[in-house]
Amino acid sequence: MLINNRIKVCRAERDMTQEELARRVGVTRQTIIAIEKNRYSPSLELAFRIARVFGESVENVFIYEGGGDAR
């Protein structure tokens, strides 16, 4: 998986449970678990929703670790 994320850290900083985050972004708790464990890459829309809940930019929550140009 080329996309890492800081969701667990952001949650811990705000003392937020997976259940609460899932409810606020409108997904199941299993999806939050899968994203946190890097087993599922969220859609762009969900990534923005998660970042907005934490009040951060998408780049601060999700880190793309792939190369630059794919050519």
Partner 1 sequence: MLYKCKINITICYNDITFGGVVIDLRRAKILVTSFVCAIVAVGATSGNMYLALAGIVIGALFMALVRRRSAEVHIDERVEALGGRAARATFVIMSVFLGLLSLGFIFIGRNTGDGGLEALGTVFCYVVCLNCAVYSITFKYFDREHGGEY
Does 3 contact partner 1 by CB under 8 A?
no
Q: State which residue, 26 or 67, has the beta carbon closest to partner 1.
A: 26
Our finding on whether 16 is near partner 1 (CB under 8 A) is no
Single out the residue of 10, 11, 18, 42 in contact with partner 1 (rule: CB under 8 A). 42
Residue pair 22/53 in contact (Cβ under 8 Å)? The answer is no
DSSP string, 5-69: E-HHHHHHHHT--HHHHHHHHTS-HHHHHHHHTTS-PPPHHHHHHHHHHHTS-HHHHEEE-S-S-
> What's the min distance (Å) between Cβ of 27 and partner 1?
4
- State the minimum distance, in angstroms, from the CB of residue 53 to partner 1: 15
Place of tokens 């080329």: 2
By CB under 8 A, is residue 58 in contact with partner 1? no
